[in-house]
Chains A and B, each alone.
Chain A
Amino acid sequence: MNSSDLTAKRRSAERRFKYYGLAAIAVTVIFLAILILDIVVKALPAFTVNQLVLPVTIDATKVDASNPAAGDFPALLKETLAKEFPDVQSRGDKKKLNALLSARAADGLQEQVASDPSLIGKTIAVPISLSSGADLHLKGFTDAQLDEKQAAWLAALKDKGFIQHGFAWSFFTQGDSREPESAGIKGALIGSILVICVTLMFALPLGVAAALYLEEFAPKNRMTDLIEVNINNLAAVPSIIFGLLGLAVFLNGFGLPRSTALVGGLVLALLVLPTIIIASRAAIRSVPPSIKEAALGVGASHMQAVFHHVLPLAVPGILTGTILGVARALGETAPLLMIGMIAFIVDVPHGFTDAATVLPVQVFLWSDLPEAAFKSRTAAAILVLLVLLFCINAVAIYLRNKFERRW
Chain B
Amino acid sequence: MNDMSFQTIMTPAIPKIAAAREAKIIASAVDVHYGDKQAIKNLSISIPDRAVSAFIGPSGCGKSTFLRSINRMNDTIPGCKVTGKITLDGEDIYARNLDVVELRARIGMVFQKPNPFPKTIFENVAYGPRIHGLARDKQDMERIVVESLKKAGLFEEVKDRLTQPGTGLSGGQQQRLCIARAIAVNPEVILMDEPCSALDPIATARIEELIHELKENFCIVIVTHSMQQAARVSDLTAFFHLGVLVEVGDTDVMFTKPQDKRTQDYITGRFG
Name A residues whose Cβ lies closer than 8 Å to a Cβ of B. 219-220, 288, 290-291, 293-302, 304, 308-309, 313, 405-407
Contact = CB atoms under 8 A, between A and B. Distances in A.
B111 A406 contact: no
Interface size range on B against A: 20 to 34
A256 to B, nearest CB: 42
Contacts of A299: 101-105, 128, 131-132, 185
B95 interface: no
A149 to B, nearest CB: 76
Contacts of B182: 297-298
A297 B127 contact: no
Nearest to A299: B105
Interface stretch (B112-120, B214-222, B250-258, B260-268): B112-120
Contacts of A296: 73, 76, 104
19 contacts: A219-B78, A290-B111, A290-B115, A291-B118, A293-B76, A294-B111, A294-B178, A295-B117, A295-B127, A296-B73, A298-B104, A298-B181, A299-B105, A299-B128, A300-B101, A300-B131, A302-B76, A313-B118, A405-B165
A296 B105 CA distance: 9
Given A298-B181, A299-B102, 15 more contacts: A288-B115, A290-B113, A293-B111, A293-B115, A294-B116, A294-B178, A295-B127, A296-B104, A298-B104, A298-B108, A298-B128, A299-B103, A302-B76, A304-B131, A405-B118
Contacts of A290: 111, 113, 115
Contacts of B101: 299-301
B104 A406 contact: no
Contacts of B71: 297
A294 B132 CA distance: 15
Given A291-B118, A313-B118, A297 B113 contact: no
Which of A294, A296, A405 counts the most B-chain CB atoms under 10 A from its CB? A294
Nearest to A292: B76
B118 A298 contact: no
A201 to B, nearest CB: 29
Contacts of A288: 115
- Shortest Cβ-Cβ A-B pairs, 8 listed: A299-B105, A298-B128, A290-B115, A297-B109, A299-B104, A407-B118, A405-B118, A294-B115
A220 B78 CA distance: 8
A273 to B, nearest CB: 27
Which of B101, B116, B181, B184 counts the most A-chain CB atoms under 10 A from its CB? B101
A109 to B, nearest CB: 64
A215 to B, nearest CB: 13
B87 interface: no
B204 interface: no
Given A220-B78, A406-B167, A407-B167, A297 B117 contact: no
B152 to A, nearest CB: 14
Contacts of A293: 73, 76, 109, 111, 115
Contacts of A294: 111, 115-117, 178, 181
A300 B181 CA distance: 12
Contacts of A297: 71, 73, 104, 108-111, 182
Interface string B115-135: 111100000000110011000
A368 B185 CA distance: 69
Given A297-B109, A297-B182, A406 B118 contact: yes
Contact of A298 (B76, B105, B113): B105
Contacts of B128: 298-300
A313 B116 CA distance: 13
Contacts of B113: 290
B9 to A, nearest CB: 32
A309 B73 contact: no
Nearest to A219: B78
A346 to B, nearest CB: 53
B120 to A, nearest CB: 11
A407 B169 CA distance: 11
A309 B116 CA distance: 11
Contacts of A298: 104-105, 108, 127-128, 131, 181-182, 184-185
Nearest to B101: A301
Nearest to A221: B78
A293 B132 CA distance: 17
B10 to A, nearest CB: 31
A406 B116 CA distance: 11
A214 B185 CA distance: 31
B222 to A, nearest CB: 15
